[in-house]
Amino acid sequence: MAPVARLRNVVIDCPDARALARFYAAVGGGTPQDDDPEWVVLQVPGGPRLAFQPAPGYTPPEWPRADRNSQQFHLDFDAGSTWEEVEAAQERVLGLGARLLHAEDKEDFRVYADPAGHPFCLCRIEHP
């Protein structure tokens, strides 16, 4: 069956579109295109287009709550195949303003909040 349409953007509401686009550019690469003050687009190399828009009255999600204001989506980033690579990536995202939300030694991922409060994961991916 042919698809109805092609995915164009993953759009993320936030209090400051330029600042959050710069954060994700530092995490995943790319250069934010911010010609429009109400819409910033980031083409992640080898990945999706992320778009950021200011949302008046924005309230960040509360992870891992399911009863109210819970996450509606999250982004997963391949941080490497070793825990040393994940640790190095963690130090970098924390330095960029992320907060650690969840880390278990038995799991192959760690959960963080970006500066606007959206959850995202750094994942340890075993590459063949």
Distance separating alpha carbons of residues 113 and 27, to the nearest angstrom: 13
Closest by CA position to 113, among listed 127, 89, 93: 93
For residue 45, the enclosing domain spans: 8-56
Residues 68 and 22 in one domain: no
The tally of domains found in the chain comes to 2
Task: Identify the pLDDT of residue 7.
Answer: 81
Q: Based on the domain organization, do 79 and 113 belong to the same domain?
A: yes
Does the pLDDT at position 4 exceed 70?
A: no
Calculate what percentage of the chain has a pLDDT beyond 90: 62
If residue 21 lies in a helix (H) or strand (E), which one and from where to where?
A: helix 17-28
CATH number of the domain residue 89 falls in: 3.10.180.10
Q: 39 and 87: one domain?
A: no
pLDDT tens string 54-73: 998 898 888 777 666 666 67
Same domain, 82 and 27: no
Classified as helix, coil or strand, 76 is strand
More confident residue, 121 or 5: 121
- Locate 119 and state its tokens: 């959850």
Residues 95-108, mean pLDDT to the nearest whole number: 91
Q: Indicate if the pLDDT at residue 51 is higher than 70.
A: yes
